[in-house]
Amino acid sequence: MARRKQIYEGKAKIIFEGPEPGTVIQYFKDDATAFNNQKKAVLEGKGVLNNRISEFVMVGLERIGVPTHFMKRLNMREQLVRHVEIVPLEVVVRNVAAGSLCKRLGLENGTVLPRSIIEFYYKDDKLGDPLVSEEHITAFNWANPQEIDDMMALALRTNDFLSGMFAAVGIKLIDFKIEFGRQYEGEMMRLIVADEISPDSCRLWDMETNDIMDKDRFRQDLGNVTDAYREVARRLGVLRENESAGQSGPVLVSDNGE
Protein backbone atom coordinates (compact mmCIF):
# COMPACT_ATOMS: atom_id res chain seq x y z
CA MET A 1 0.00 0.00 0.00
CA ALA A 2 1.39 3.37 -0.97
CA ARG A 3 2.22 5.70 1.90
CA ARG A 4 -0.27 8.52 2.21
CA LYS A 5 0.81 12.04 1.56
CA GLN A 6 1.65 13.98 4.68
CA ILE A 7 0.18 17.48 4.69
CA TYR A 8 1.47 18.77 8.00
CA GLU A 9 3.35 17.59 11.07
CA GLY A 10 2.65 19.27 14.38
CA LYS A 11 3.99 18.63 17.86
CA ALA A 12 1.55 15.88 18.83
CA LYS A 13 -0.21 15.02 15.56
CA ILE A 14 0.37 14.46 11.88
CA ILE A 15 -2.17 15.35 9.20
CA PHE A 16 -2.34 13.12 6.11
CA GLU A 17 -4.34 13.51 2.95
CA GLY A 18 -7.79 11.96 3.32
CA PRO A 19 -9.51 9.42 1.08
CA GLU A 20 -11.92 12.01 -0.34
CA PRO A 21 -11.77 15.74 -1.02
CA GLY A 22 -12.69 17.72 2.06
CA THR A 23 -11.27 15.09 4.42
CA VAL A 24 -7.93 14.56 6.12
CA ILE A 25 -6.56 11.91 8.47
CA GLN A 26 -5.40 13.02 11.90
CA TYR A 27 -2.69 10.75 13.38
CA PHE A 28 -2.00 11.00 17.13
CA LYS A 29 1.70 10.67 18.04
CA ASP A 30 3.12 9.74 21.44
CA ASP A 31 5.24 12.91 21.46
CA ALA A 32 4.72 15.34 24.29
CA THR A 33 6.03 18.89 24.32
CA ALA A 34 5.70 21.74 26.80
CA PHE A 35 6.98 25.24 27.41
CA ASN A 36 6.91 26.10 23.73
CA ASN A 37 8.83 22.98 22.68
CA GLN A 38 11.66 23.33 25.22
CA LYS A 39 10.62 20.15 27.02
CA LYS A 40 10.07 17.01 24.97
CA ALA A 41 9.41 13.34 25.60
CA VAL A 42 7.79 10.30 24.07
CA LEU A 43 5.00 8.98 26.29
CA GLU A 44 4.16 5.52 25.05
CA GLY A 45 0.46 5.06 24.49
CA LYS A 46 -0.49 8.74 24.83
CA GLY A 47 -1.53 9.03 21.18
CA VAL A 48 -3.81 6.03 21.43
CA LEU A 49 -5.50 7.44 24.53
CA ASN A 50 -5.92 10.94 23.11
CA ASN A 51 -7.36 9.54 19.88
CA ARG A 52 -10.02 7.70 21.87
CA ILE A 53 -10.74 10.49 24.36
CA SER A 54 -10.96 13.13 21.64
CA GLU A 55 -13.30 10.90 19.61
CA PHE A 56 -15.53 10.44 22.65
CA VAL A 57 -15.67 14.18 23.34
CA MET A 58 -16.26 15.22 19.72
CA VAL A 59 -19.04 12.66 19.26
CA GLY A 60 -20.67 13.99 22.44
CA LEU A 61 -20.39 17.58 21.22
CA GLU A 62 -21.99 16.65 17.88
CA ARG A 63 -24.85 15.08 19.81
CA ILE A 64 -25.66 18.38 21.53
CA GLY A 65 -25.38 20.28 18.25
CA VAL A 66 -21.85 21.67 18.49
CA PRO A 67 -20.32 21.04 15.05
CA THR A 68 -16.88 19.41 15.00
CA HIS A 69 -14.41 18.18 12.42
CA PHE A 70 -14.70 14.56 13.62
CA MET A 71 -16.06 12.02 11.12
CA LYS A 72 -14.89 8.62 12.32
CA ARG A 73 -12.07 6.86 14.07
CA LEU A 74 -10.10 4.69 11.68
CA ASN A 75 -7.82 2.78 14.05
CA MET A 76 -5.89 3.08 17.30
CA ARG A 77 -4.09 6.25 16.28
CA GLU A 78 -6.02 7.78 13.42
CA GLN A 79 -9.29 9.51 12.80
CA LEU A 80 -10.93 10.78 9.65
CA VAL A 81 -11.78 14.47 10.04
CA ARG A 82 -13.15 17.28 7.90
CA HIS A 83 -10.57 19.37 6.15
CA VAL A 84 -10.73 22.90 7.55
CA GLU A 85 -8.81 26.14 7.44
CA ILE A 86 -7.58 26.50 11.00
CA VAL A 87 -8.32 29.87 12.63
CA PRO A 88 -4.91 30.96 13.98
CA LEU A 89 -6.21 31.32 17.54
CA GLU A 90 -6.22 29.13 20.62
CA VAL A 91 -9.45 29.67 22.52
CA VAL A 92 -9.04 28.99 26.24
CA VAL A 93 -11.98 28.68 28.64
CA ARG A 94 -11.24 28.81 32.36
CA ASN A 95 -13.41 27.86 35.31
CA VAL A 96 -10.73 27.73 38.00
CA ALA A 97 -7.46 29.71 38.10
CA ALA A 98 -4.37 27.74 37.08
CA GLY A 99 -1.29 27.98 34.89
CA SER A 100 -0.62 31.23 33.05
CA LEU A 101 -3.65 33.00 34.55
CA CYS A 102 -2.20 32.62 38.06
CA LYS A 103 1.15 33.96 36.90
CA ARG A 104 -0.34 36.87 34.98
CA LEU A 105 -2.82 38.05 37.60
CA GLY A 106 -1.25 36.77 40.82
CA LEU A 107 -4.17 34.46 41.61
CA GLU A 108 -3.77 31.44 43.81
CA ASN A 109 -3.83 28.14 41.95
CA GLY A 110 -7.29 26.58 42.38
CA THR A 111 -9.26 29.81 42.93
CA VAL A 112 -12.78 29.32 41.57
CA LEU A 113 -13.42 32.11 39.06
CA PRO A 114 -16.51 34.35 39.43
CA ARG A 115 -17.59 33.17 35.99
CA SER A 116 -16.11 31.24 33.10
CA ILE A 117 -13.51 33.35 31.32
CA ILE A 118 -12.65 33.09 27.62
CA GLU A 119 -9.23 34.10 26.33
CA PHE A 120 -7.69 34.16 22.87
CA TYR A 121 -4.06 33.38 22.09
CA TYR A 122 -2.46 33.96 18.71
CA LYS A 123 -1.07 30.67 17.37
CA ASP A 124 2.56 31.41 16.67
CA ASP A 125 5.26 29.23 18.21
CA LYS A 126 7.98 31.76 17.45
CA LEU A 127 6.14 34.30 19.59
CA GLY A 128 5.16 31.75 22.26
CA ASP A 129 1.41 31.99 21.49
CA PRO A 130 0.77 35.47 22.97
CA LEU A 131 -2.51 36.44 24.64
CA VAL A 132 -4.42 38.77 22.29
CA SER A 133 -7.57 40.87 22.51
CA GLU A 134 -10.50 41.12 20.12
CA GLU A 135 -8.96 44.37 18.88
CA HIS A 136 -5.84 42.51 17.71
CA ILE A 137 -7.91 39.70 16.21
CA THR A 138 -10.06 41.98 14.07
CA ALA A 139 -7.31 44.50 13.21
CA PHE A 140 -5.04 41.75 11.88
CA ASN A 141 -7.92 39.84 10.28
CA TRP A 142 -7.36 36.58 12.15
CA ALA A 143 -11.14 36.42 12.56
CA ASN A 144 -14.03 38.84 12.06
CA PRO A 145 -16.42 40.04 14.81
CA GLN A 146 -19.12 37.52 13.83
CA GLU A 147 -16.58 34.69 13.99
CA ILE A 148 -15.40 35.87 17.41
CA ASP A 149 -19.02 35.79 18.64
CA ASP A 150 -19.52 32.32 17.17
CA MET A 151 -16.29 30.99 18.70
CA MET A 152 -17.23 32.39 22.13
CA ALA A 153 -20.70 30.86 21.99
CA LEU A 154 -19.37 27.47 20.85
CA ALA A 155 -16.57 27.57 23.45
CA LEU A 156 -19.09 28.18 26.24
CA ARG A 157 -21.36 25.37 25.04
CA THR A 158 -18.30 23.12 24.89
CA ASN A 159 -17.38 24.18 28.43
CA ASP A 160 -20.86 23.36 29.74
CA PHE A 161 -20.82 19.98 28.03
CA LEU A 162 -17.30 19.07 29.15
CA SER A 163 -17.85 20.29 32.73
CA GLY A 164 -20.90 18.06 33.09
CA MET A 165 -19.32 15.12 31.33
CA PHE A 166 -16.24 15.18 33.56
CA ALA A 167 -18.17 15.98 36.77
CA ALA A 168 -20.23 12.84 36.18
CA VAL A 169 -17.04 10.77 36.48
CA GLY A 170 -15.55 12.64 39.44
CA ILE A 171 -13.30 15.02 37.51
CA LYS A 172 -13.20 18.83 37.72
CA LEU A 173 -12.66 20.72 34.47
CA ILE A 174 -10.30 23.53 35.45
CA ASP A 175 -9.69 24.94 31.96
CA PHE A 176 -9.18 23.83 28.37
CA LYS A 177 -8.05 25.01 24.97
CA ILE A 178 -9.90 24.50 21.71
CA GLU A 179 -9.23 25.43 18.13
CA PHE A 180 -11.70 26.22 15.40
CA GLY A 181 -11.64 25.60 11.68
CA ARG A 182 -13.48 27.15 8.78
CA GLN A 183 -15.31 24.57 6.72
CA TYR A 184 -16.22 25.72 3.24
CA GLU A 185 -19.16 24.22 1.38
CA GLY A 186 -19.68 26.07 -1.88
CA GLU A 187 -20.54 29.65 -0.98
CA MET A 188 -21.10 28.74 2.66
CA MET A 189 -18.59 28.79 5.48
CA ARG A 190 -19.10 27.59 9.03
CA LEU A 191 -16.89 27.41 12.08
CA ILE A 192 -16.46 23.98 13.61
CA VAL A 193 -14.45 22.64 16.55
CA ALA A 194 -11.21 21.14 15.22
CA ASP A 195 -7.87 19.78 16.50
CA GLU A 196 -8.33 17.63 19.62
CA ILE A 197 -9.87 17.76 23.07
CA SER A 198 -7.87 15.54 25.41
CA PRO A 199 -5.84 15.64 28.64
CA ASP A 200 -3.14 17.32 26.52
CA SER A 201 -5.39 20.36 26.11
CA CYS A 202 -7.47 20.35 29.32
CA ARG A 203 -6.68 20.73 33.02
CA LEU A 204 -8.46 17.94 34.85
CA TRP A 205 -8.37 17.46 38.63
CA ASP A 206 -9.81 14.58 40.57
CA MET A 207 -12.96 15.87 42.31
CA GLU A 208 -12.07 14.30 45.68
CA THR A 209 -8.30 14.57 45.90
CA ASN A 210 -7.45 17.36 43.40
CA ASP A 211 -4.94 14.95 41.87
CA ILE A 212 -3.76 16.23 38.48
CA MET A 213 -4.93 14.03 35.59
CA ASP A 214 -3.63 16.03 32.60
CA LYS A 215 -0.53 17.32 30.83
CA ASP A 216 0.54 19.28 33.90
CA ARG A 217 1.87 15.91 35.14
CA PHE A 218 4.37 16.14 32.29
CA ARG A 219 4.98 19.90 32.63
CA GLN A 220 5.67 19.56 36.36
CA ASP A 221 7.53 16.22 36.23
CA LEU A 222 4.91 14.51 38.40
CA GLY A 223 5.33 11.17 36.59
CA ASN A 224 2.68 8.58 35.60
CA VAL A 225 1.43 10.82 32.80
CA THR A 226 -0.12 8.14 30.61
CA ASP A 227 -1.50 6.36 33.69
CA ALA A 228 -3.46 9.52 34.46
CA TYR A 229 -4.70 9.80 30.85
CA ARG A 230 -5.68 6.12 30.95
CA GLU A 231 -7.64 6.75 34.16
CA VAL A 232 -9.51 9.62 32.47
CA ALA A 233 -10.32 7.29 29.55
CA ARG A 234 -11.33 4.50 31.91
CA ARG A 235 -13.69 6.72 33.91
CA LEU A 236 -15.29 8.01 30.72
CA GLY A 237 -15.87 4.39 29.73
CA VAL A 238 -13.76 4.86 26.64
CA LEU A 239 -11.46 1.91 27.34
CA ARG A 240 -12.70 -1.57 27.88
CA GLU A 241 -11.30 -2.92 31.15
CA ASN A 242 -8.93 -5.39 29.50
CA GLU A 243 -7.86 -3.15 26.65
CA SER A 244 -4.24 -2.05 26.52
CA ALA A 245 -3.65 1.45 25.25
CA GLY A 246 0.09 1.10 25.53
CA GLN A 247 0.50 -0.73 22.26
CA SER A 248 2.46 1.08 19.63
CA GLY A 249 2.91 -1.69 17.08
CA PRO A 250 0.97 -2.23 13.87
CA VAL A 251 -2.65 -1.30 14.18
CA LEU A 252 -5.73 -2.85 12.63
CA VAL A 253 -7.95 -0.67 10.54
CA SER A 254 -11.58 -1.19 11.41
CA ASP A 255 -14.51 0.73 10.13
CA ASN A 256 -17.02 0.21 12.87
CA GLY A 257 -15.21 2.38 15.40
CA GLU A 258 -14.39 -0.58 17.66
CA–CA separation, 101 and 94 (whole Å): 9
Q: Of 202 and 233, which CB lies nearer to ligand UDP in the complex structure?
A: 202
163 binds ligand UDP (CB under 6 A): no
CA–CA separation, 140 and 150 (whole Å): 18
201 binds ligand UDP (CB under 6 A): yes
Q: Is 81 exposed, middle or buried (0-12, 13-18, 19+ CB in 10 A)?
A: buried
Q: Nearest distance from residue 101's CB to ligand UDP, in Å?
A: 6
Near ligand UDP by CB under 6 A: residue from 75, 100, 116, 163? 100
| CA distances for 39 relative to 32, 123, 144, 210, angstroms | 8, 18, 34, 25
Near ligand UDP by CB under 6 A: residue from 92, 132, 236, 238? 92
13 binds ligand UDP (CB under 6 A): no
Helix axes 145-167, 46-63, angle to 10 degrees: 110
203 binds ligand UDP (CB under 6 A): yes
Q: Is 15 exposed, middle or buried (0-12, 13-18, 19+ CB in 10 A)?
A: middle
202 binds ligand UDP (CB under 6 A): yes
Which residue pairs from 166-172 have beta carbons closer than 8 angstroms and sit at least 24 positions apart in sequence?
166/204, 167/207, 169/235, 169/236, 170/206, 170/207, 170/208, 170/235, 171/204, 171/205, 171/206, 171/207, 171/213, 171/232, 171/235, 172/95, 172/96, 172/204, 172/205, 172/206, 172/207, 172/210
Element housing 131 (H / E): strand 131-132
Near ligand UDP by CB under 6 A: residue from 31, 129, 150, 243? 129
Q: Of 41 and 189, which CB lies nearer to ligand UDP in the complex structure?
A: 41
Near ligand UDP by CB under 6 A: residue from 55, 175, 196, 231? 175
Residue 124, C-beta contacts closer than 8 angstroms, at least 6 positions apart: 88, 130
Q: Nearest distance from residue 53's CB to ligand UDP, in Å?
A: 13
55 binds ligand UDP (CB under 6 A): no
Region binding ligand UDP by CB under 6 A among candidate stretches 94-102, 107-115, 136-144, 161-169: 94-102
Q: Of 129 and 160, which CB lies nearer to ligand UDP in the complex structure?
A: 129
Near ligand UDP by CB under 6 A: residue from 46, 83, 172, 215? 215
Near ligand UDP by CB under 6 A: residue from 166, 176, 180, 205? 176
Region binding ligand UDP by CB under 6 A among candidate stretches 14-22, 91-99, 162-170, 238-246: 91-99
Size of the residue set binding ligand UDP (CB under 6 A): 14
**Contact positions toward ligand UDP, by CB under 6 A?**
90, 92, 98-101, 129, 175-177, 201-203, 215
